[in-house]
Amino acid sequence: MPSPSNGGKITKIINARILRDHEIVNDSYLWIQDGKIIDAFNSFFKYNREPDEIIDAQGAIVAPGFIDLQINGAFGIDFSDYKDPESKLKKDIATVLPLLQYRPGDAKEGAEILGAHCEGPFISTEKKGAHNQTVIQNAKDGIDALDKAYGPELKKGGKAVRIMTVAPEIEGILDVIPQLVDRDITVSIGHSAATISQAEEGVKAGATFMTHLFNAMRPFHQRDPGMVGILGASDLPEPKQPERHPLPSTTSPCREKTDPRPFYGIICDGVHVHPNSVRIAYYSHPSGCVLVTDALSAAGLPAGIHRLGGRDVEVRGVSGAYIKGTNTLAGSTISIDHCVRNFKKFTRCTNVEALEAATLHPAQCLGIQDRKGTLNPGADADMVFLDDDLNLKRVFVRGVEVELKERNATL
């Protein structure tokens, strides 16, 4: 557990309401050194150091930095495309993945990249959404099929690919899931026409996440609820990776053990998922909720038609980008802080629950809660300052404040 040392500058944050251990602690403080939260109370006297800098939070809520597990781009930039000064690189998974590997966060250069979330091509043609049907394939050749599709980066596991979305009913996928888990990759089920039994088999095989719940999956039916029915599952086996499953809640099969149900991502923009559906998910499985934006390159751009990713996309309404001339959603244009506020509004949950759905829960899903998603000693000093309505006031990356700019009102 990091303690104050004779090393770098020590910063102390005072007059803060800190989100810690599932509650907001009033009139508290944080100590930061070398980009980490440090334990000042137990070892301050060992080095007899005063803080070099004091930041007055002025009563703001201080929460861990937000984590978005599904974002495709923003402000005209598509993460699946890249241009260098010399030439445009071929839009190819093997080319793009090296650019999305882990990269530490920096207040000037941007947020930390935790790795890539690979969505497809091992998904259902029936529930492909905006994905190109011509590249969708099965996994009858096992893990070799995935290695061939993604190239050498997939063999690096969690260092390059953090999350893989697959459809559990696709041939060969159930055998592949444990192998992906062995590579430290979080497996998510989604873009799927799976029945409830197929979805449960995916979870039993090791899937610990569901990609954008309600979207690109079979709609709920009373006799076969499909993937949505996982919310009500009560007889799943004890998870093989309990540290990557939700904490127990009042709706868990056992309130003393890790919940065997997986986490689920949900796009809380009021467009992709109706507020009533958000409430149903939350009331069914509150500790499993992970807020995601599914934002694409149109996020932050004005309403209208934009040429993005080789196709025309229309930005319209409160949130949402549609394939031109259709009502097919290509992704959202919302920001993660807006999702947090919407989630609280839709569900009437507490500030703690809304914030943990964008901090602790995604960190647990990735198995990185020792350094992300909390403000405990040893965690990275990524923080957001918020008012009581959860509006962003200040942002810090590894203890350094980010200069905030005015954002488009549609965000």
**Residues tagged active-site:** 294
Contact 102, 159 (CB under 8 A): yes
- In whole angstroms, what is the distance from residue 340 CA to residue 358 CA? 7
Contact 31, 51 (CB under 8 A): yes
CA 365 to chain CA centroid, nearest Å: 8
* Number of C-beta neighbours around residue 201 at 10 A: 18
Distance of CA 234 to CAs 13, 290, 292, Å?
43, 20, 25
Contact 167, 173 (CB under 8 A): yes
Provide the residue count of the chain.
411
- In the DSSP assignment, the letter for residue 166 is E
Q: What is the DSSP string of 207-248?
A: --EESSTTTTBPPP-SS--GGGGGGG---PPPPS-GGGSPPP
Contact 258, 242 (CB under 8 A): yes
Tokens of 87: 């030439």
- In the DSSP assignment, the letter for residue 325 is T
User: How many Cα atoms are found within 13 Å in the side-chain-facing hemisphere of 342?
Assistant: 26
Q: Which amino acid is at 268?
A: C
Tokens of 10: 């020590």
- In the DSSP assignment, the letter for residue 155 is G
End-to-end CA distance of the chain: 38
Tokens of 190: 């989604």
Nearest to 112 by CA among 400, 394, 332: 400
